[in-house]
Amino acid sequence: MIDDAREADAAPEPKVEDQAAAVVPPARLTVAKTVERKGEAAPEPAAAPKKPWYQRLREGLSRSSRELRDNIAGVFTKRKLDEDTLQDLEDVLLRADLGLETAMRVTDALASGRYGKDISGEEVQAVMAEEIEKVLAPVAMPLELDLSHKPHVILVVGVNGTGKTTTIGKLAAKLVEGGLSVTLGAGDTFRAAAIEQLRIWGERTGSPVVSSKLGADAAGLAFDAYEKAKEAGSDVLIIDTAGRLQNKAELMAELEKIVRVLGKHDPDAPHTVLQTVDATTGQNALNQVEIFRNVAGVNGLVMTKLDGTARGGILVSIAAKHKLPVYFIGVGEQVDDLEPFSASDFAKAIAGVA
């Protein structure tokens, strides 16, 4: 669903025909809540009854949280909180990819109130959850669409396989469910499968897909996609890109060119540059954000595959270092597996507290 940030009271569900009113500048829409599937056929029927997303997040983070819990328990078995235990705890937190800043926040918070006292692993987990939430809260933001730009352009970047195309499909579904019209641009012109995958998402969500021949110029595709989206009166244009990091200079040139040609249509486009980050990646994800931030001006993140065998701590490191908004998390491969990011849910899941 879409929240209209201009309206204080609970507005009725926007209908497609109401959109003309909804896009009078400066219309800012907040994409926040979960898609509630309406009516009949779900695009990808699940084989078994699906677990709630929070359970999948918890399960995805269970390896990280179990390791943390066991290692913390190991540090604090019959030991007081002193310099040695704090150092051991810091090592445990660093090994969990939480990053130095957060590790120090946790040890400082413990040291300030409980130094020299006996302390249980559970108490440490509770403090850890609190401190992680403090790091994550500033980046847990809803995606805002500025529909005074029509279309609002979302450029999706990230290393191949991190979930760009799938995230685009899920996001398009959310927007369409909220009554917005969407055009998709198949800017990953290097992989036939990526173009085909986007076409399928286009069909599922009823969104036109602008594509070109395999190997065609991605910037040319982006330019055409904007034109088509404008002609169609789409509210949002989402453009897929290739994420080949093998040749950084080429990638940079390609993304810069995409941004440049979009700027010919609208100097502010792309309005959102969204990077998908695979949560199973570990430390390397930090470098990926660094690279795409420099190359493409990333201004928001989606952390994908948090239902898998996630290295969840890395999200905390990324938040502390880059301070980029995290709009959504991916908790599965299906259309409704994109959830707004909640600092408190994530912090509790990774710290393993209720």
Ligand X SMILES: Nc1nc2c(ncn2[C@@H]2O[C@H](COP(=O)(O)OP(=O)(O)OP(=O)(O)O)[C@@H](O)[C@H]2O)c(=O)[nH]1
Query: Which stretches of the chain bind ligand X, using CB under 6 A?
Result: 158, 160-166, 188, 191, 194, 243, 276, 304-305, 307-308, 330-333, 337
The beta strand positions in the chain, using DSSP E, are: 2-4, 28-31, 143-146, 152-157, 182-185, 209-210, 236-239, 272-278, 300-304, 326-330, 338-340
Q: How far is the CB of 243 from ligand X (least distance, A)?
A: 5
Judged by beta carbon, residue 192 or residue 253, the one nearer ligand X is 192
Backbone angles phi, psi at 188, to 5 degrees: -85, 85
Please answer whether residues 310 and 65 qualify as being in contact, where contact means their C-beta atoms are separated by less than 8 angstroms. no
Looking at the Cβ atoms of 39 and 215, the one nearer to ligand X is: 215
Pick between residue 119 and residue 186 the one whose CB is nearest to ligand X: 186
Least distance to ligand X from the beta carbon of 286, Å?
Answer: 18
* Shortest Å, Cβ 184 to ligand X: 12
Please check if 313 is assigned to a binding site: no
β-strand pairing of 209-210 with 236-239? unpaired
- Please report how close the Cβ of residue 276 comes to ligand X at its closest, in angstroms: 6
C-alpha span between 253 and 296 (Å, rounded): 10
Strands 236-239 and 300-304: unpaired
243 known ligand binder: yes
4 is in an annotated binding site: no
State in angstroms the smallest separation of the CB of 14 from ligand X.
27
Q: Among residues 22, 42, 11, which one has the least CA distance to residue 233?
A: 22
Query: With respect to ligand X, which residue has the nearer C-beta, 102 or 288?
Result: 288
Pair type for strands 209-210 and 182-185: parallel
Q: Given strand 143-146, what is the order of strands in its sheet?
A: 2-4, 28-31, 143-146
Q: Which residue's CB is nearer to ligand X, number 177 or number 337? A: 337
Residue nearest to ligand X (CB): 330
21 is in an annotated binding site: no
Q: Hey, what are 78's tokens? A: 């019959």
Task: For residue 164, say whether it is annotated as part of any ligand binding site.
Answer: yes
Is residue 70 part of an annotated ligand binding site? no
Known binding residues are 158-165, 240-244, 304-307
Residues within the annotated binding site for GTP?
158-165, 240-244, 304-307
